[in-house]
């Protein structure tokens, strides 16, 4: 049996400012550093064999806190980066709904089926999600941490559990932890978006 902890990165400056982020990057906020520290304290006594992290700064800096607490090296995995949302990245999220109302409403209902201009394709995104699932399945490690992004985490959960719904129907807060178990080739959800470490 494998235990997989899917962790969204701590709060970034773009999160705080309401900027549409995707493939762009920004530093953690002071609150983000506190979130990452509290997350690491919650994991300090857990049995963890390996830490995977997206190369994007907001995820990697969150993973570094876990790495120090657990004394485990980080494996940087490009497949678990956030979806690239295309040419609208960098804009204020609320302003986007003002300027592109119909398009943004359609996108928010199902971002993979109603992509934004130059957004990463559904096929490309799901290909790398499935490739990483194969990595998780085939490796020897039983206790796995994955520090990634909301879009990727939601895609991973949908693909492993068969939960079929638009991507944003699953919510993940900054440093929210979702845990899956892999038993006899099947994935099961133990919990979603646990933020008790922030209380």
Residue 171 annotated among the catalytic residues of the structure: no
**Hey, is 99 helix, strand or coil?**
helix
Rounded CA separation 54/100 (Å): 30
Rounded CA separation 86/24 (Å): 10
Residue 174 CA, distance from chain mean position: 9
Task: Please pick, among 143, 149, 154, 197, the residue that the annotation labels catalytic.
Answer: 149
Residue 149 annotated among the catalytic residues of the structure: yes
């646990």: which residue's tokens? Answer: 194
Q: What is the DSSP string of 105-133?
A: HHHHH-TTTSPPTTPPPHHHHHHHHHHHH
Task: Note whether 156 and 15 are within 8 A (CB).
Answer: no
Task: Please pick, among 3, 9, 143, 197, the residue that the annotation labels catalytic.
Answer: 9
Task: Note whether 63 and 147 are within 8 A (CB).
Answer: yes
Question: Comparing C-alpha atoms, which of 5, 82, 91 is closest to residue 50?
Answer: 5
Residues acting as catalytic residues: 9, 149
């Amino acid at each position: 049996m494998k235990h997989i902890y899917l962790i969204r990165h701590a709060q970034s400056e773009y999160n705080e400012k309401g900027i549409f982020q995707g493939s762009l990057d920004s530093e953690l906020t002071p609150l983000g550093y506190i979130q990452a520290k509290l997350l690491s304290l919650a994991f300090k006594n857990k049995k963890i064999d390996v830490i995977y992290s997206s190369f994007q700064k907001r995820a990697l800096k969150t993973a570094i806190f876990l790495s120090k607490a657990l004394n485990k090296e980080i494996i940087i995995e490009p497949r678990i980066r956030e979806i690239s949302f295309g040419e609208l990245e960098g804009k204020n999220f609320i302003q986007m709904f003002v300027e592109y109302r119909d398009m943004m409403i359609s996108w928010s209902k199902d971002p993979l089926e109603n992509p934004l201009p130059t957004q990463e394709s559904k096929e490309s995104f799901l290909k790398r999600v499935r490739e990483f699932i194969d990595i998780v399945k085939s490796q020897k490690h039983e206790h796995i941490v994955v520090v990634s992004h909301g879009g990727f985490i939601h895609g991973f959960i949908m693909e492993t559990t068969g939960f079929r719904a638009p991507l944003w129907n699953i919510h993940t807060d900054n440093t929210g932890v979702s845990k899956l178990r892999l038993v006899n080739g099947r994935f099961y959800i133990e919990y979603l978006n646990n933020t008790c470490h922030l209380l």
